[in-house]
Structure formats: C-alpha cells, structure tokens
Structure 1
Amino acid sequence: MSSKSPSLSSSICVLAPSSVARLSGLCLLFSASLLLGMNSSQAAQAEAPTLDNQKFNACLDNLVQTGPFAGVKDTFAQYRPQQGDPSVLESLDYQPEFAKEPWDYLASLVDEERVLDGINASNQYADVLARIESEYGVNRYDVLGVWGVESDFGTKLGKKDVVESLATLSCFGRRQSYFRGEYVSALKILKQGDIDKADFKGSWAGAFGQTQFMPSTFLQLAQDFDGDGRKDLVNSQADALASTANFLKNSGYQPGQPWGYEVRLPASINAKNDRKNKQPISHWRSLGLTLTDGSPLPDSLASAGLFLPSGKNGPAFLVGRNFDSFYAYNASENYALAIAHLSKQIENQDTNVEFATAWPTDDPGLSRKESREVQESLNLLGYDIGEVDGIIGDGTRRAIQKYQADNGLEPDGKAGKKIHQHLMDSSAKLRQAAQQAEADETSLESESSIATGSSSSAKNAEAKSDSSGFLQNKSLMAIAISLLILLAIIIVSRRRH
C-alpha cells in the first residue's frame, strides 16, 4: 500500500451511488480516525502548525459577505470563533482508513470488546432497532456496525468544536470551498435549533453525533425518530440510528440481503480484486468458489463482486450492494469491511473476530486490550506514554520507537503482535512486582477494615489501635519492600539500555 496520503476529495466527498447522486453535497467524513492514532512517520516528525490570526479574521470578514452566508449572518456573528484551531490542519492529509494495512486497521475497530459492546447495544436498543428495521428496511446489525465503527457506540463523539474546526478549514489548507459549504450547513443546524452549541463537537473535519454526520448530510438525511421535534444526533440514539438507516437506504441498500460473505478461492482461479464487477452467484459457483467451510455459495445475494483486500493470499469476499452502501458512508474499502465484519460478529454473537483465512502478515495488528498492555509495559519500563487508553497514537509510537532503538530493534514505531510480545516479556518482572504492590495495598485496606470493626469498649479500642498499628506497619513494610524491588528492577533495566 502506498504511503502517500490520498487526495482529500477521495476521502471526504462520498462517491454517491445513482440513487443519491441527486443529493447535492452529500458528503460524510469518516471519523473512525477518532478511535485510531497517527502513523509512525508522523509520530516522529509531526509538528503543530501555526495560524495567522489576523489572516483568519480577515478571511471570516470576507466569508460573511458572500452569498452562501446570507441567511445565517446573525448565527455567524453569534458563534464566530475568536481564533482558528491549528490542530485540525495536522489531520487534513492523513486518514488511517487509507494509510493503514487492512489487518492493522481492523484490529482495534473489530475486537472482542467492541463485539460484546455491540451485543449489549443490540439488547438495550432492541425496540428502537426493530422499528428502524421495519421503517427503513435496513438490517439492525448493519446500523449497529456503523455506530460501533464511527463512535464506539456513542462513547467517542469527538471533542473538536465543529464551528471552530470548519471556520479554520474554510480559511486554511486544501478544499476550502468544500469546508465553507459545511460551515454554512453547520450554522443552519444551529439556527434551526436541532443541536445545542455546547453539544456541537465532533471530529477535526466537522463530522458529529453518534454516527458522525457531516453538517450538509445532516440537513438532507437526518431524522427525528423519537418525535421530540428535534433531529438530535448527539443525544438521541433513536434519531442517530434512524438517520444512519436513512443514509444507507438512500445509498442503494437492498432489504433482506446480506452484505456478503467470506469465500474460499480455488487454487486455479486468476482472481482480480474488483468488487464493482457484480456477477450472478451462479457465475462464481462455476469458477469453483465456495464458502470457507467448503459448502456451496448461498442464493442470499442476487449478484456479487470479488473483494480481495490484501490480494489473493489473504481473506477473500463476495460482496453485494449493501457493502457498497457502507462504502458510500465513507469512500474506503477498509472502512466498509470494518462495518461489515463488526455487524456480522454482533449478529452471530461471535467474539472470535479472525477471518477463516489469515492475513498475509507475520505481524498482525493489536486489539484494544493488547494496545493497553503495550502502553502499560512501556510505562513500567520507563518510557512514559501518559494515559493508558488503548489508543496507539503519537506518544505511544514515539515511545515504541525509543524502546526499539534501545533494544536493537528496527525503530519503525509499529504497534503489532511482535512488539507486544517483546514488551510483555521485558516487563514481566515489573508487572509482577506492580501486581504484588497492588495486592499488598488491597490487603492493607482489608486488614485495616477488620481492625476498625473491633469492640467499641475502651480496652478493646486500645487493643484495636495496637493491632491496627501493627497490621498497618506490617503492610506498609511489605509495600515498601515491593517498591524497593520495583525500583531496583527499573534501575537494572535502564542500565541495560
């Protein structure tokens, strides 16, 4: 895969199918990048750009005089940013769904934790999802797949001020004309009162809400499914999920059909990755394709195209029209596969997220649990990454590079299975000491609790005090010993480096 960043036009403006081509400006920016970090070269080299605030304000002065802003001048003035946000420009040329290999991209988006969260969400919102499925003809699990990938089921909505981000991107960087349209749309949303300004936060590019709509898409497709008079994609799960189903429906979604399925390729086939070349299932049967267990291809798809995300030697899929509707949500095949895979695992209640055919790599990506273990190990070994959150971002990759350099490894900053195992081995004794210290602290709390529960008589109180003091001293001494052991291991470890 090329390391060159894609053009923004291919990553922001959806290549809409014919059924939605008439909807002008139908653009959604994929925001699963909220859940993913930057690449290794950026981790080592990225520097925050600076903005000319005088130029920014001059730009806004000019913008408000243009025709598109005519109907929102009061709203523009009310919410005009005092300064731009230079950090959004750092993300302008990078989106992980394009820059990452598919196995790295899917690893943290479709893992055991997210499948379990999706199963819980399917139970919690069963009634709403059933109504959505009935009204829009979109499988509830496909809607859940989008929700899970876009915002981890509403837990990560983004923290950027949408108005400030769009104002900045309207005046700096590439695609300013596109972002100016989104800026106007954002102001219209505020004017309509669907979203409160305090809640109007999202990704660096202005995508917001539970399923990360761009403002222009909101104006065309958002739904008030809970009937409260507002299309609130931030605080109303019903509105957000119905709006997502409405988007998929308008993107050519076919009710009652699966997105596709993993298949086994015959060794003799001259396979080409061309999911757009839809053929009848009978055609693929005649070429010798089967399901991964060897059984015949089902008739659940009217037609399908062959999708080979990593070439002939990796997992292979036959995908139908509904896979294309996922792609329409954001023009990335990695992204569409993440939605498809997550939706199927939730529907099957299957936390084993591995495909039947392994990826062609000896260093697969990490789940969020494994990512947290990498971060914890780095911290224990003295490579400070800050908060342990399971997101491999800028700081974690720099720490990995430093650790690799100190240990004679290639300092590429890659967070894969290999570095995970290396770190787990290196930090084993430190983790054991830390766990022992934690156990000693728990023991201290327990013993103190027992001691303070003694008789309230003066004599017993005095005895309790003596006992508690003895127990406290004993436990504190144990903790002190554990900490000294931990310190000694750290010193030895650092000397080796």
Structure 2
Amino acid sequence: MRTYLFMALLAATSTVQAMASDDFDRCVDGLRDHALDQGISESVTSRVLAGIEPLERVIELDRSQPEFTRSFRDYLEKRVTEQRIEKGRMLYQEHSQLLERITRETGVPGRYLIAFWGLETNFGSYTGRMPIPRALATLACDQRRSDYFTGELVSALRLIERGDVEAEAMEGSWAGAMGQMQFMPSVYLKHAVDADGSGRVDLWNSVPDALTSAGHLLESLGWNEAERWGREVQLPEGFDYSLAAGLKRKRPLSEWRELGIRNAWGGELPQADMQAALLLPSGHEGPAFLLYDNFRVIMGWNQSEFYALAVGHLADRIVGAGPFQTRPPDHEPLSRDTIEALQAALKEAGHDPGPVDGILGSGTRSALRDFQKKNDLRADGFPDPDSLSALGID
C-alpha cells in the first residue's frame, strides 16, 4: 500500500518548479514510507528527511547537462586542457605504486583512473557542495527520472545508516554523485573499498580508497585489460557515412581496414579480428574514431559519448600522446527547443529517436542517420542545416 501511494504521488508530480510546498511535503512523506519499506530505520529516515525542502537549481542543472547541450569541440576543449594534462601527468607519477597495484588487481591501467579523477573533480579539488539527501529528494519528486533517484535516495540513507558518512557531511554534485570519483550512492554501496586500511571507506579524503574503488567499478563493468578505449582514424574519400553508427554496429578491425579506413596519421590499421565501432561526434567535418569494448565500459560510468571520448583522450595525453589530428569544427550547439523539434519531426517521419527530451543523444543521432540515408542526405547522424531543412525545421 505504501509503495502504491508513493508511485501515485510521483505520477501526479511534474517538476519541482510547479510544485506547491504541500505537494513536495506529500511526496517526501511517500519517500519516507518507501525507505521504511526498504528496511531503512525509522530513526535515520526521520532524521534525514525531516523538514527537507526542494532545490530548484537541481532541476535546472538536470535539464542543461553539458554533455548534451554543447558542441564536441567546446566540451572537449573545456575538459582536456593543457593544465589538466600536466597535472594528470604529475599525479600519474606521484601515485605510480598505488596505480600499479590497482592495475594488478583489476586490469585497469592507471592512466584511465587519473583521467576519470581529473574529469570528475579536477583531481579532488572540487567534489561538490550540494546536500545529497536534499538533491536526491528533489530529483525523486520530479517525474523525469523519479524511479532512479528514489533508489539512489534509499542507497544514500543506507550509507548514512551503516556509518560510512554523516548526513550533514554528505555533499556532492547536483545529481547525487559523491567523493573524488563522484560515485552515486548505489555505486558507493556496491563497489567502494577500504584500500588504505583505515577501517572505513572514505571516497572524499582517501586517494587510495577513491582510485581503487574506481578500478573495481571499471572491472565490474567489464574492462578488457588487453585493449585500449579506441583510436582516431582517417576516412577515405567517398566513404559511406551511414556505417558510422556508433556502438550499435561493430566490425572487426580487418573489415574497417578493407573499407579504406586508416589510422590518424595515414598508416594501415592492424589486420585483426578485434571488434570496433565507428563514431563521428561532430559529423563528417570532424574527427572520426574507432571504438573498442572499453569505450562501452567508460559509458557505463557516464552515458555520454562526449564524456567517454574525453576520458580516453585525457588518458592518452597523460602518457604522452598528442592532440587529435583533426580538430573538431566549431559548430554552434542547437538549442533544446530545436532538438525537441528535431526529435518530434523524426518521429513524425517514422524514425524513432527515443523520448522527445531535447537531448541530442545516440538514439536521436541514429534516427537522424536513418532519415538522412532514406532521403539521400549525407548520413553522418549530425543535424546539419540541410537535414534540419528536410525535416521542416528552420
């Protein structure tokens, strides 16, 4: 009965901005009942959720995530900076023994752990100041992803209950991620480890705990120690761009080689059976990448292709690689309204982009690629002016 009431309350709630105070209070009552049903003690549940108020800023940030609202060039250049590369190289050397131990335990090379660390919190320099229970309650009472954030709130309460962190000290990102590697509460519960022997897991203040926990998470997601994340490549003249279907379509390296794809410097690809997928994050004008299975593992951490490319590139730069050979073009990012119009038009044309949510993700790109191919347009999955015009979007 409690769960039924709780879900009914959530279904009746759209966004926090539209919520009256009493509506949010009723939703929190439902969250409290749900936490009790999940075995969280009355004392912890009441203490943490008593008098909690919504954070409207959290909803604003949820609707404007940079992975989906910026061009690839803008996203990459703001994250893989020379300063971050140099700092990453220094920390890679400083923590070499720890990183070698983690690699022996998990198979994950240290350069990737340093790259995640740099992208998540700028190497621990900023782990976020949002009160996690309040942020998660806000998102749990928002219709868009209420089920997911309800589960994360319960996990956060469980962390508090078992003594990993005090409720008042549980601060992090607007989405509920915590510590130097920005683990969500459920991930913290499943994969965080006490690597420094202190007797407790501390992802805020212990670098060994944070980096080792990250290695164990990536191992659990299926990291393949025999492969890297992927590589930049060159495409031949007249290439069929519809083959660049991202992770949905993989081929052996040997087949990509036969199709005329070469490495970033014009050399031949290995004659190998290793599976790879082709991605053009900026369309045909930008760099092209062949992605291996570990790219999918990185996206298990954060489901943004831009983020995964940034992790792989920063990891490479930390161990001495240079910039991409093809610089991403300086495209003006589309507005959220334009992306929603694009998604609606694709649906109308019989191509399913997924939800009409204003986020230019892999589903929208795939649907656009199908539309482009059907209408004799350059099928690179990028919303160029010709494609938008063909869909009736100005």
Letter in 2 for 1:244: A
Match of 1:57 among 21, 25, 32: 25
Write out per-residue CA displacement over residues 148-188 of structure 1, whole angstroms, 9 at most, x where no aligned residue.
11111111211100011112222344322221111110010
* Contact 1:258 1:301 (8 Å CA) reproduced: no
* Pairing partner for 1:123 from 93, 104, 108: 93
Q: Does the 8 Å CA contact 1:68/1:184 hold for their aligned counterparts?
A: no
Match of 1:356 among 325, 341, 356: 325
Cα contact 1:51–1:84 (8 A) shared by 2 = no
The separation in 1 between residues aligned to 2:121 and 2:273, in whole angstroms, is 29
Q: Which residue of 1 aligns with 2:45?
A: 76
**Structure 2 residue identity aligned to 1:71:** I
Whether the aligned pair in 2 keeps the contact of 1:49 and 1:87 (CA below 8 Å) is no
- Paired with 1:198 and 1:62, the residues of 2 have a C-alpha distance of 22
In structure 1, what is the Cα distance between the partners aligned to 2:57 and 2:221?
32
CA offset digits 1:36-86 (Å, max 9, x no partner)? xxxxxxxxxxxx947633333333233322354432321112222522322
Matches within 5 A, 1:10-409: 49=17, 52-66=20-34, 67-82=36-51, 83-271=53-241, 272-276=243-247, 277-298=249-270, 302-348=274-320, 350=321, 353=323, 355-361=324-330
Q: 1:174 to 1:305 in 2, by over 3 A?
A: closer
The separation in 2 between residues aligned to 1:173 and 1:275, in whole angstroms, is 29
Percent identical among aligned pairs is: 38
Q: Aligned residue for 2:360?
A: none
Paired residues in the alignment total: 314
Cα separation, 1, equivalents of 2:205 and 2:318:
23
- The structure number with the bigger radius of gyration is 1
Q: CA deviation at 1:229?
A: 2.2
Residues in 2 aligned to 1:260 and 1:117: alpha-carbon distance in whole angstroms: 23
Query: C-alpha displacement at 1:262, in angstroms?
Result: 0.8
Query: Which residue of structure 2 aligns with residue 27 of structure 1?
Result: none
Per-residue deviation, 1:285: 1.6
Q: Structure 2 vs 1, CA of residues 362 and 65 (structure 1 numbering), >3 Å: closer, same or farther? A: closer
Quote the Cα distance in structure 2 between the aligned partners of 1:85 and 1:301: 50
Displacement, 1:362? 7.3
Distance 2:215 2:138 in 1: 31
**Residues 226 and 239 of structure 1 are in contact (CA less than 8 Å); yes or no, is this contact kept in structure 2?**
yes
After TM superposition, the score normalised by the length of structure 1 is 0.60
- The question of whether the paired residues in 1 share the 8 Å contact of 2:253 and 2:272 is answered with no
Which deviates more from structure 2 when the two are superposed, residues 87-96 or residues 114-123?
Answer: 87-96
Stretches of structure 2 that go unaligned for 5 or more consecutive residues are 1-15, 334-394
Give the drift of 1:301.
7.8
Contact 2:79/2:310 (<8 A) preserved: yes
What does the per-residue CA deviation read over 1:219-271, in whole Å, with 9 as the maximum and x for residues that have no partner?
12222222222221111111111121122112221103111111111113213
5+ residue gaps, structure 1, are 1-47, 365-497
Aligned counterparts of 2:64 and 2:325: Cα–Cα separation in 1: 31
Distance in 2 between the 1:238 and 1:140 partners? 12
Q: Write the distance in 2 (CA, Å) between the matches of 1:219 and 1:291.
A: 41
C-alpha displacement at 1:307, in angstroms? Answer: 1.4
Look up the SS of the partner of 1:229 in the other structure. coil
My pick for the range that moved more, 241-250 or 314-323, is 241-250
Alignment match, 1:28: none
Counterpart of 2:169, as a letter, is D
Give the structure-2-normalised TM-score: 0.74
Aligned with 2:144: secondary structure?
coil
Residue pair 2:181, 2:203 contacting (<8 A) in 1 also: yes
